[in-house]
Amino acid sequence: MSPLEVPDGPQPDPPDAPEPPDPPPDGPEPPDPDEPEGEPEPQADPTTEELRLEQFRLQETERDRAAESEEEDEAEQHERRAAKASYLREKLEQRAEAERRAARRDEGG
């Protein structure tokens, strides 16, 4: 028998297809009281200055947590987070300076 031939004899029934879901109840579903109504309002992108302040606050918070930690591993973790926030703040300061230079250049001065 070639691979394309169908063997003689009874074939197993194909598996039953899943049943469709039950139809929705009459009318639309009532709104969920925990979900806000309508589309969420788009959030404006934070400014570079806002991001810098956020990283500064995070850096200070993590340094405080490191100082208050009783376990060495926990303190080291908070120190790493503070160092990361410091690094990001420095990068944001560089970005702010580049934005200032670009604004001066656009103004012609």
The amino acid sitting at 86 is: S
DSSP state of 45: P
H/E element holding 76?
A: helix 72-107
Comparing 21-25, 53-57, 65-69, 70-74, the range with the smallest average pLDDT is 21-25
| Helix axis angle, 72-107 to 48-68, nearest 10° | 160
pLDDT in tens, 24-43: 656 666 666 666 666 666 67
> Distance between CA 68 and CA 84 in Å, rounded?
19
Please give the average per-residue pLDDT across 92-96, as a whole number.
Answer: 94
Residue 46: pLDDT band by 50, 70, 90 thresholds?
confident
Residue 45: pLDDT band by 50, 70, 90 thresholds?
confident
pLDDT surpassing 90 at residue 76: yes
pTM attached to this predicted model = 0.56
Instruction: Give buried/exposed letters for 12-50 (b at 16+ CB in 10 A, else e).
Output: eeeeeeeeeeeeeeeeeeeeeeeeeeeeeeeeeeeebee
Please report, for the chain, the start and end positions of each structural domain, with discontinuous segments joined by +: 48-107
The amino acid sitting at 10 is: P
pLDDT at position 4, please? 60
Q: For the chain, give the mean pLDDT.
A: 82
